[in-house]
Amino acid sequence: MREMLFNQGLRLRIALLCAMMLCGRAAGAQRLSQLASPLPLPRGSTLVIGFLGGYDRWDDEHRSVRQLVLKLREKPGVYAESISNHRRSLALKLIREALDTNRDGQLDPEERAGVRVVLFGQSWGGAAAIATARDLQNAGIPVLLTVQVDSVGIHDDIIPFNVSAAVNFSQHDPLTAIHGRKMIHAADPARTAILGNFESSYVARTVDESNASKARQVFGGSHTKMEQDPLVWNRVEHYIVDAIARRVP
């Protein structure tokens, strides 16, 4: 246990150092008024929240999380937002206000089930998605799906029981400082379906990194390649759209 905690702490310290080197200066604190979704959301809608990695700006259209959010907005009945992984409190506020149809500041059982929630994220954003799902578990709010892409964090391997389905993508290539969470597990396998733990390698495969800075390309290694990999993000989109369409894992 002590060795496991040490390794997790080491992963986070490495990720922090790399994030500080790779990211530009962060924008000011993101505000609820900057989000596009109407509040409360129409009953039966799906709210998708994507958490960006590192210190990436929430509205940086060079980042794959933001690109997917903008694409999902084109689908009827889907409201999608990108949020900094450091602003989970904003995500929780958004979810509560999206569900609170009578605007009384309280969520009754009918309101909790009125809007379906999907959470996904990359790097620190992957860990933020799971931490947010855990907060929603404590509030009695179900989550339709979580998706993690090269997730970096502590306890981001255990999917809380309020999540119907979860899927995980990672890479563990050599000479890359940041490796994502390799395996995720359900806290309650009877209530959460793990749709897969998929590992990619970029040792013998190139990816267009033109949307990444030179610093990201040089120091980010395969962590950057996965963030820019269209094959991975097409699969992320597929899982999200499929979950919305089927309403079940």
The model's pLDDT over 187-220, given as tens digits with 9 standing for 90+, comes to 999 999 999 999 999 999 999 999 988 888 888 8
Tell which wins on pLDDT, 8 or 82: 82
DSSP-based three-state secondary structure for 166: strand
Closest listed residue to residue 225, CA positions, set 198, 248, 206, 245: 206
Helix axes 88-99, 124-138, angle to 10 degrees: 40
Tell which wins on pLDDT, 147 or 43: 147
Tokens of 30: 């993101």
**Domain containing residue 127: CATH number:** 3.40.50
Once rounded to an integer, what is the mean pLDDT over residues 122-127?
97
Domain of 125 in residue numbering reads as: 2-24+33-246
Once rounded to an integer, what is the mean pLDDT over residues 14-33?
61
**Average pLDDT along the chain:** 89
Report the share of the chain in percent with pLDDT over 70: 88
Whether the CB-CB separation of 138 and 122 falls below 8 Å is answered with no
- Do strands 46-52 and 185-186 pair parallel, antiparallel, or not at all (unpaired)? unpaired
pLDDT at residue 246, rounded to an integer: 80
pLDDT at residue 248, rounded to an integer: 45
pLDDT at residue 249 greater than cutoff 80: no
pLDDT at residue 1 greater than cutoff 60: no
pLDDT digits (tens, 9 = 90+) for 89-119: 999 999 999 999 999 989 998 898 888 999 9
Whether the CB-CB separation of 207 and 41 falls below 8 Å is answered with no
pLDDT band at 74 (very low <50, low <70, confident <90, very high): very high
Q: Lowest mean pLDDT of 75-79, 126-130, 166-170, 217-221, name the range.
A: 217-221
Tokens of 199: 């590992």
Tell which wins on pLDDT, 164 or 113: 164
For the chain, what is the domain count?
1
pLDDT at residue 12 greater than cutoff 90: no
- On the 0-12 / 13-18 / 19+ scale of CB atoms within 10 A, 243 is buried
pLDDT at residue 16 greater than cutoff 90: no
Once rounded to an integer, what is the mean pLDDT over residues 19-37?
70
Residue 62 makes CB contacts below 8 A (sequence gap 6+) with 211, 212
pLDDT band at 5 (very low <50, low <70, confident <90, very high): very low
Tell which wins on pLDDT, 1 or 51: 51
Whether the CB-CB separation of 176 and 218 falls below 8 Å is answered with no
Report the share of the chain in percent with pLDDT over 90: 76
pLDDT at residue 161 greater than cutoff 70: yes
Once rounded to an integer, what is the mean pLDDT over residues 7-22?
50
